[in-house]
Every structure is written in structure tokens, then in C-alpha cells.
Structure 1
Amino acid sequence: MKISRVIGVLAGAPLVVGALAIPAAAAPPYVPADSGAEITGEQWLDPVTVDLTVQTPAIGTSEKVRVIVPAGWSREASRTWPVVYAYHGGRDDYVSWTRSTDIEQVAARYDVIVVMPEGGWAGSYVDWHNDGRGGTPRWETFLVQEVVQLVERNLRGSTRRAAMGASSGGHAAVMYAGRWPGTFRYAASFSGMMHITMPGVPSSSLYTSRVWGGVRDPELILGSPLTDFANWRAHDPYHLAPRLRGTGLYISAGTTGEPGPFEPTDLALRELLAGLLIGGNSEETVGATNISFRTRLYALGIPVTANIYGDGWHQWGYWDAEYKKAWPLMMNAIGAQRTG
């Protein structure tokens, strides 16, 4: 196996997906979000999957949102459907859940809408600090306000919501549940950082954003962990934990950094070393933050389903397996009925 294939598995290298344009029936004009964000285009990939183009003031650009609708869905229906918001990780994009998992087949067995928005390569799913000036990009505003409003005003999405994510998307799912209490009935994280102010983690996060995310000055995201510690803390699931009471929670991560059951068994030495560096070290750090977060929840008496599984790298093989364990718990929390 080539080393590029190993890195591709770990980073979730995008694949080109052909699109089939399916004409939509005439529908009323899209209703914009409060900010003025609006759906400006749609492309149906198959009868239940559509890519939306959203012009968003929060980001200052047009961004993509992939949506899976259930059987029997109609934009003109009198009813609404519960919604799962699925967030991707760094160095990935809005197609990653349909590219790297069989989420279409899993979702098809339930009466649920799945929304997979663009989260930015290295946006960290937050409204950027920008040396205290604020301004774009405002990823949290885009995802928690604009996208949610557009889904509920135009796609018959209900207020029965769950959020899940892999890697930085997992951090986002739990962080949003804490920062916006009552918005999500369930939050699930697969290898997401659950304690971003844990000693050693801020410097590791800044390094990752600079080297792997290509952010020239990563302190623009949350600020300096020294002088802007309050902002880091305000986006830290560990410190947001008391605000998660009443929200269903699922977290998972590896802890050892060693290869696990989803890694190839025929890696050459250099490929193994690359995997340990890229996927192993990062997962070991992530795992430590999950253990810390779980301990914090236990101390507060807040229930959590936690699968801290030991060996395994930071890659989709584990996230695919883990989201399937969390899925029925999310469906129960948002009242999504099994249909198949």
C-alpha cells in the first residue's frame, strides 16, 4: 500500500462524485434566514439526495449543504420531519459522510432528514475571533442559525434535532449543544476534542491548524490561549458540561495511538510510521480529552454513552462504526420512527 493511500484514509481525501440533475417540481420561492442567508441553487443527485447552494453573510461566500430526505418527503407537506445535522472533520467537506459511510442506507430506514453542511477546512466550527474584531468567517452562526433556519423554513425540518460529527465536527456537535441549550436533543462525537483547554491541547490544536489546516495565523480562530483563554473556555465541551444536562450524549475515541482493527495489516515500516504520526498521535490526544470529559460528566451526574476503545487511528473506519452505534439512540431522542 502506498503511503498516499494511508494518508488519504486518515484525512478523508475527497472523491469525484457524478451528479444526476433531477428536475424538481415547481415550488414556492425559498424563504431566507433572518440574516438574509438564502438557498440560491439545488442539484438533485438522486431521488432523495440534494446539494443546496447557500449564499451566507456569516461566511461571506456561497457554501454547499448536502441533504438526504426520507421516503414520502415533500416540500409542500403539511407535516415536518426530525433532523440530524452531520458535521465533517478537518481537511474534508460536505460530501464526506456520503463518501465515507453508508449513511444513505442507514437513514433510509428511518423517517428522518439528514443535513450535511460545509464546515470549512480549518474553520474550527466557530465564529472567528480575528484579534477581537470578529467578522467573517462565522461558522457557528452559519451552521446553528442560518442552516437550521433554512432547513426548517424550506425543507419541512422540525425542531426535533440531533447533531453528530467526526473529529472537529464531533467537537462542534457537543460544543453547539452546550452553547445553544435546547437546540439539539442529542449530540454525538466520534474522535472529537472534548477538552480543548486541557494542558498541552491548545498548542497541539494551533499546530494542527497551521500545518494541516493551512491557517497562517491560527490564533485568529479562538484567539491566544493565554490572553484569550476565556474564549477558548467558552468553546470547550469540558467547561460547557453543566449546560449539557438534559441532552443525550454519545462520545467515542481511541486512546493508545496504536493501529486497531480498521488499519491495514500489510503496512510497510514507513507507512506504519506515517500512520502513527498522523492518525495515531492525534487520536491519542483526542482520547485523553474524551476521558477527561467523561470524568467531568460523571462528577456532574450527567448521563453519557462513552465508548473509549483503546487502539485505533484517527480515521473513518472507526467513525463509520461508531455513528451506527449512536444512530438508534439519536433516533429515539428526536422521535424518528423506523420505517424499514
Structure 2
Amino acid sequence: MTDQQQKDLQHDEVQAGTTTGLAAPSVDVTSSRQNSLWSDAWGQLRRSAIFWTGAVLGVIFVSMALFPSLFARGVDPRDCDLANSKGTPSAAHWLGFDQQGCDYLANVVYGARNSLLIGVLGVLGVLLLGVVVGAIAGFYGRLTDSVLSRIADIFYALPLILGALVLLRVGPSTGLPVISERGPGAVAVALAAFGWMTAMRLVRSQVIAVKSSDYVAAARAMGASDFRILVRHILPNAVAPVLVYATITIGVLIAAEATLTFLGVGLQPPAISWGLQIAQGQSLLRTAPHLVLFPSIILTLTVMAFILMGDALRDALDPRQRS
């Protein structure tokens, strides 16, 4: 745009403001649309019983992970007495005792930290890989899109649990420090490495749909760099489906961690997690069923909480789902 054209545009804006008696407003169409989307979504969520059910459960379990001593009533999960081995629930010990005579309520409460930590770290890894690869593939297209999409297809051929199991099995022999020890970080990396493809496809499709918009063309005409266009104009309009997917995936990865730990390739003692408790209690199912029942119930409720929030958020952000 030449200097003369800019002056003419400014003159027209002044004239419009003079005619109406008001100053000509400067309207950011993209920001207005985003604000309207999230405002409408919040209005829908406030009326959703499903969202509030998931949110209340989620807050309880996150609080349990952050402040376990409050929920465990100050009991140390490693303070054990073999005389109480496999003790049944009572008024003094609500969930009974495990095989080592440790208070089981304290163990279940402290198990929330590792399980939720793996879920959150895994989702962050999924978003990092998925958003970056999907944004590059969708924005540049052509050969770049083809290569990155085929790489994603290769990873799609391996199921999440199987891929993470293999990586955790061979991880110590590779010498890689990230997965050399089966701690929460190693399990989260293994799950993220084989769980990013759906996020990548979501971002890619959104970027392809948004990059042809008029405001993107205007930003390009004004000399904005590709990075600025992606970060400031495209990705903010592609975040809604990714946010829904991330919320649901936290629950999926928590269940996946429990599965890997149950199979013996996830967390290892002396770590505390729901998957370890279920694995250790399976051989005592007939004599002490509470050792499997209680961590299974808490694990199920945690996974359900994030899935309920994700489903409610999806419906709120999709106008077609609104009544």
C-alpha cells in the first residue's frame, strides 16, 4: 500500500467518524470472534451438569495430588506394620491395609501424584509435537505436508500401549538419559512419542482451513513473517479442537500409565501409583479384594472426570451441538 493510499484511507475513516458524530473505531475482527467464541462456550459450560461433574472430580483429584497429606489424614504411606497385613477397611482405616501393613488410604492418595503427573507431562509432550508438526505441515503444504503426514502414518501403525511398551523395554539399553530409568518422566515421554499424531492432524486441518482467510492475507500483505502469522493469526483460531483433545487425552494417558505399570514396564517400586497398586493386588483378589477395588475406582473416576470435561468442552465450542 502506497503512502497516498494510506492517507486516502485515513481520510475516509475520519470522514466516516465525522458523519456519525463518533470517532472511527479500530476493530480487531479476529479478537472479537475469539472473544465471542469463548464467551458463548463459557455460557454453555455454566449450564452443563456434565462439565461441573467432571470439574468437581478433577479439582478433588488434582488437590489430592498437590496436597496428599490433607487427604491421607497425615498418615505416612510408608509407615507399615506387618501385623496389619491385608487388614480390611474399618472406621479408623477407611481403606484398610495393603500386604505390607501400610495404610491403604494413604497409598491411594499419594498414588494420585505420579498418575496425574504422567498424564499432564504426557499431554504437554503430545501438544508440543502435535502442534509444531501439524502447524508446519498445514502452513507450508506440498512436499513438507506429504513427508510429515507420512511420518505420522508410520507412528499411527503402532498402537499407543504397544509402542510405549517397546520403547520402555529397550529404553535402558539405548543409554538415553530421558528413558534410562522408568520414572514418571520416562513413562510420559514414551506415551507422548506414540500419542501425538491425532493432535498433529487436528492442528494441520485447522491451519489449512484458516490460512486462506482474509485476515491472514492482510497480515501477509503487511509484511508479517511466517512465524508471526502462525503464532498471532492462525494458531489462536485452531486451538479449540486441540484443547478439547488435550483434556480428554489426560484421562487416556493416566489409564495408559496404569496399563503399562500393570504389565510391568511402567513405574517401578518404591514409586507409588494406582497402576502399581492394582498390579500388586491382583494376586490377592480373592483374599483381599479391596487392594484392587479401591485404586481401580479412583483411577476410573479420574479418567472419567477428564473425559466428561472434554466432552462438555467439545459441545460448548461446537455451535452445531448447541440446542
Length-normalised TM-score, structure 1:
0.21
Larger Rg: 2
> Which structure has more helix as a fraction of its residues?
2
